[in-house]
Amino acid sequence: MQFKRLKDLRTDHDLTQKAISTILKISREQYSLYETGKRDIPVDLLIILAKFYKTSIDYIVGDTNNPTRYSESEK
C-alpha cells in the first residue's frame, strides 16, 4: 500500500529520505520502498513517524484528512 502522505509530510518539512531513514534507523533504500508502496511499513515505524510529525497514524495512512493528533483523553 502506498502512503502518499509519507512523501508529502517529508517534503513539507524539507527533509530528505536519508534524514527520515536516520530517524527510523533504517536504510534510505528501505524507506524509499515504504514511500513508493513497494513494501508495507511496519506499525512501529508508523508510530515513530506520527510522533515525529506530531500527527496521527490515521492521517499518515489516509484514513482521515485531519492532521491533528488525538489527545490523551481520546485514547
CA dist., res. 34 & res. 73, Å (int): 31
Q: Which residues of 51-67 are buried (b: 16+ CB within 10 A; e: fewer)?
A: eebebbbebbeeeeeee
Domains in the chain, number = 1
Q: What pLDDT is attached to residue 71?
A: 64
* Residues 48-72: tens digit of each pLDDT: 999 999 999 999 998 888 888 766 4
Cβ pair 61, 3 in contact under 8 A: yes
Cβ pair 4, 62 in contact under 8 A: yes
Report the residue count for the chain: 75
Q: What pLDDT is attached to residue 72?
A: 47
* Residues 5-15: tens digit of each pLDDT: 999 999 999 99
pTM: predicted TM-score of the whole model, two decimal places: 0.85
- Residue range of the domain that includes 33: 4-74
CATH code (residue 13):
1.10.260.40
CA dist., res. 49 & res. 34, Å (int): 12
